[in-house]
Amino acid sequence: MNASGAPAAVSKRLGAIALIGLLAVSLVLGIFVYRARTPDLALEVTSFPKTFGNRAFAEIIFFVRLPDDNAKVEIVGRDQVVTRTLADSFALDSDQRVRCLWDGLDDGGEKAPPGRYRLRVTLPGEGREMVFPKRLDIEPGQYAGYAFTLSEPCEPQEGSE
């Protein structure tokens, strides 16, 4: 018996049940807060290489859930500084697959320095700027520097998701 006169085993069970109840309430509350702070997924990337390697270009395939006639597609580096603009004022339809090729060069035509790069798609009409969380790494000496210029780095693909 404990100080209140209840059996000690009952008191321990009630404490354990209360703790489990608090954990469950915390989990449910955490899910609601996460969903409230996370916008609907508007960018889906279906192909994004992990490293540039010694290839001539990196192929990126994505689609957006919201259409925009003036989308901008960019490769960004550290602190989301633009390295290369792949498409500006690009018309994107919702769920239309888009294939972009990045030749590893920056906007000035120079080889991008070693580092980590991400895809950023901006939909000005929707007020959205989306950065794909996975990174494409260029390591020292890894990029062979195939210099060529792509006339249209991004183009819509046939079919949709």
Q: Taking the CB of residue 52, how many other CB atoms lie within 10 A of it?
A: 22
49, two tokens: 């290489």
- 0.75 exceeded by pTM: no
pLDDT digit string, tens, across residues 59-116:
889 888 888 999 999 999 988 999 999 999 899 898 889 999 888 889 998 888 889 9
Alpha helix stretches (DSSP H) within the chain = 8-37
How much is the mean pLDDT over the chain? 79
129 burial type by CB count under 10 A (0-12 exposed, 13-18 middle, 19+ buried)? middle
Statement: residue 122 has pLDDT above 70: yes
Tally of residues, the chain = 161
Residue 161 DSSP code: -
- Residue matched to tokens 């950065």: 131
For residues 156 and 58, the answer to whether their CB atoms sit within 8 Å is no
The per-residue pLDDT for 117 is 92
